[in-house]
Amino acid sequence: MTTSPNSHISIGDDTGISGTSISAMGSIFIGSRVLIGEGCVVTDNDHHPVDISPPSERRYTKLSAANSRSIRIEDDVFIGARCIVLKGVTIGAGSVIGAGSVLTSSVPAGVIAAGNPCQVLRSLRDPVSGDGESGEAPLGDPEKASLTFVIAAYNASKSIANAIASANRIPSSRVIVVDDGSEDGTADAARLVGAEVIVQANAGAAAARKTGLSHVKSEYVVFLDSDDEVTDGLNSAIDLLRLDPETVVVGGRIELMNASGPTGKFGPRPSAEYSTRDLLATPASPWPPCASVWRMSALLASEKSEIDPLNPRYAEDYELLLRVSMVGRVRAIPLVTGRYRAFGGKSSSAASLALETADNIRQYYSLAMGDDALPMGAREILRRSEWRVFRARVVEFGTVRAFTLGLKSPRASFRLVVIGSEKLARRAIGGRFK
């Protein structure tokens, strides 16, 4: 066992570890009733580089907690012989890891996984009765769950298991995955880890979330992107909703992720509370979907607002937050509630369209409330919408600037639900007031 002065290793009751090398520079948690086979390696850090120079000429790189990421092995896990568990990995409760596996990313609860790199092979849950179309039983009982995760997914077979695993760590939850016309086996990957899956023709993330929402029966709902994750901080957000019936949505901070996992870098700390006018001052939600919990009754009530709702294809979370803020309190906690993946996602054109649409939405609601909200300058839009553009590899400043100057006709990225709003909306999507 290798440790540093500030490292922490926690091992639960009735756990068996034999002939295993554990290296901790940060934190390693091993739960109760865990069995780890002979010859395994569990390390939360990077190893010394190999140097075959003579001893007098060798240069060593000091290990430190700065290069480590926590490992968590939950209760009732079995790990076969000669496995390697690398930094940042979580193994969900009740999972079985085949001998010789190399774990470079997290494994959901209740599955069999194996290989190099380790991948989920099947769920350990009982098959559903009836026609068996889903192949595996849903992880949450719709009648008993107090929280539902709606995951809109498109070609997300490589990331969907981690998103579902993070959701399953929240008690009394149900997971609904809406496969939006994927071509890479996303639906099968979600079913393997026990999620409830709905398949539809490709219609975009906003339409997929709406489909999932129509199946929600719980008191609270989270909209989770297929390559993002939630954290235990979400439990505190739910507690706040339970304590204050007038609060309709609670958000938190985000931790950024890259291809290797969490980066230890965080998004801006949100304000404690947001009024509708506070939200109109910024053309974006204060947090991405993965970082907030919504009260389902408030979402339904917001559809009956005096201001006709929009159905935007982009920035739909911002429009939804504006509507819900007219029903009750929008609050935030200082804890990290979600992990937001900042690579390989939306294209730069999609990010630009999201920013354009958000400013159009801002102007629409400002007009409806009797405020004179002038279009924002390009730099101001980008500055105030920081997290939204993390995901794009390149943010095209020129595109946003052209939009704000009226040099380019922005796409009408939303359709109107009520014809009577058309004149008002035309003023908002014209790029500037006439």
Catalytic residue numbers read 48
* Distances in whole angstroms, Cα of residue 75 to Cα of each of 26, 29, 72, 135: 20, 10, 10, 25
Question: What structural domains and CATH numbers belong to the chain?
Answer: 2-47+66-123 (2.160.10.10), 125-226 (3.90.550.10), 228-434 (no CATH)
Hey, what are 98's tokens? 């085949």
Phi, psi of 389 (to 5 degrees): -95, 0
Task: Note the pLDDT of residue 317.
Answer: 82
Distance CA 296, CA 69 (A): 35
Mean pLDDT of all residues in 406-415: 34
pLDDT higher than 50, residue 139: no
Distance CA 290, CA 390 (A): 14
List of residues 6+ apart from 231 with CB closer than 8 A: 166, 255, 335, 336, 337, 338, 339
Hey, what are 246's tokens? 């007038």
Pairing of strands 329-341, 247-258: parallel
Convert the pLDDT of each residue in 19-33 to its tens digit: 899 988 888 999 999
**DSSP state string for 289-330:** GGGEEEEHHHHHHHTT-SSPPEEESSSHHHHHHHHHHTTSEE
Q: Tell me if residue 238 falls in helix, strand or coil.
A: helix
Convert the pLDDT of each residue in 289-320 to its tens digit: 899 999 999 999 988 766 666 666 666 788 88
List of residues 6+ apart from 272 with CB closer than 8 A: 331, 332
Distance CA 42, CA 87 (A): 8
pLDDT higher than 70, residue 426: no
pLDDT higher than 90, residue 213: yes
Cβ contact 362:427 at 8 Å: no
Task: Note the pLDDT of residue 132.
Answer: 34
**DSSP state string for 332-381:** EEEEEEEEEE-SS-S-HHHHHHHHHHHHHHHHHHHHHTT---PPPPHHHH
Distance CA 158, CA 156 (A): 6
Mean pLDDT of all residues in 348-360: 63
Convert the pLDDT of each residue in 240-296 to its tens digit: 999 899 999 999 999 988 877 888 888 888 888 999 888 888 777 889 889 999 999
Task: Note the pLDDT of residue 45.
Answer: 82
Q: How confident is the model at residue 352 (pLDDT cuts 50, 70, 90)?
A: low
Convert the pLDDT of each residue in 38-90 to its tens digit: 999 999 887 554 444 555 554 544 555 556 788 999 999 999 999 999 988 88
Cβ contact 388:284 at 8 Å: yes
Distance CA 334, CA 270 (A): 7
Task: Note the pLDDT of residue 433.
Answer: 29
Question: Which sign does the torsion angle of CA 61, 67, 72, 77 carry?
Answer: negative
| Residue with tokens 């304000």, as numbered in its chain | 271
Task: Note the pLDDT of residue 267.
Answer: 87
Q: How confident is the model at residue 220 (pLDDT cuts 50, 70, 90)?
A: very high
Task: Note the pLDDT of residue 197.
Answer: 95
User: pTM higher than 0.85, yes or no?
Assistant: no
H helix or E strand, kind and range, residue 188: helix 186-192
Task: Note the pLDDT of residue 25.
Answer: 84
